[in-house]
Amino acid sequence: MKISTKGRYGLTIMIDLAKNYGDGQSPTSLKSIAKNNDLSEHYLEQLIAPLRNAGLVRSIRGAYGGYILGREPGQITSGDVIRVLEGPISPVEGIEDEEPVKRQLWIRIRDAVKGVLDNTTIEDLANYKDEGEQDSYMFYI
C-alpha cells in the first residue's frame, strides 16, 4: 500500500491543527499551514473539504477564520485521516479472490498496517519528539 500526497498532506494539516488545539484556540488558516510546511495552499484546499465533511475538522468563518479540529486530537487516529483521503486500507484489491496462502499474507499485511494507523492518534504525531535514530520505530502495535 502506498500512501499518496493526499494522505501525507492530510496528516500534515491535522498535525498542525493539533499543535494549536486547546482552550481559547484560534482557528488556523490553510495559508499558514501551507507556509509552515512549504506546501501548496491550493492543494490543501482540495484536501480540507473531505476532512470537514467527515467531521475531522471544522471551519470558522470571518476575518480571523480558519480551521480547528472537529474532535480532540487524541480521539482522531491517523487511520481516520487516511481512510477519508485515500479510501479503504488494503495492500491489494480482490483479496477474497486470492488463493488461501496468499490471501492470508495480504490479510496479515492489511491488519498490521491498520493496527499502526488505528493506534496512532493525531495527538501522538503532534507530540512526537525525535529521540535519535537508535530506535527507528516511532510507534508500536
Using one digit for the tens of pLDDT, what is the confidence trace for 70-91?
999 999 999 999 999 999 988 8
- Contact present, 67 and 27 (Cβ < 8 Å): yes
Average pLDDT score over residue span 7-15:
97
- Contact present, 121 and 77 (Cβ < 8 Å): yes
What are the sequence ranges of the domains in the chain? Answer: 5-127
CATH fold label, 5-127: Arc Repressor Mutant, subunit A (1.10.10)
**Pairwise pLDDT comparison (131 vs 69), residue with the higher score:** 69
Indicate the helix (H) or strand (E) that contains 59. Answer: strand 57-60
pTM of the model: 0.86
Average pLDDT score over residue span 95-106:
86
The residues near 70 (Cβ < 8 Å, ≥ 6 apart) are 52, 55, 56, 57, 58, 76
Hey, what's the cell of 122? 493525531
**Which pLDDT belongs to residue 132?**
56
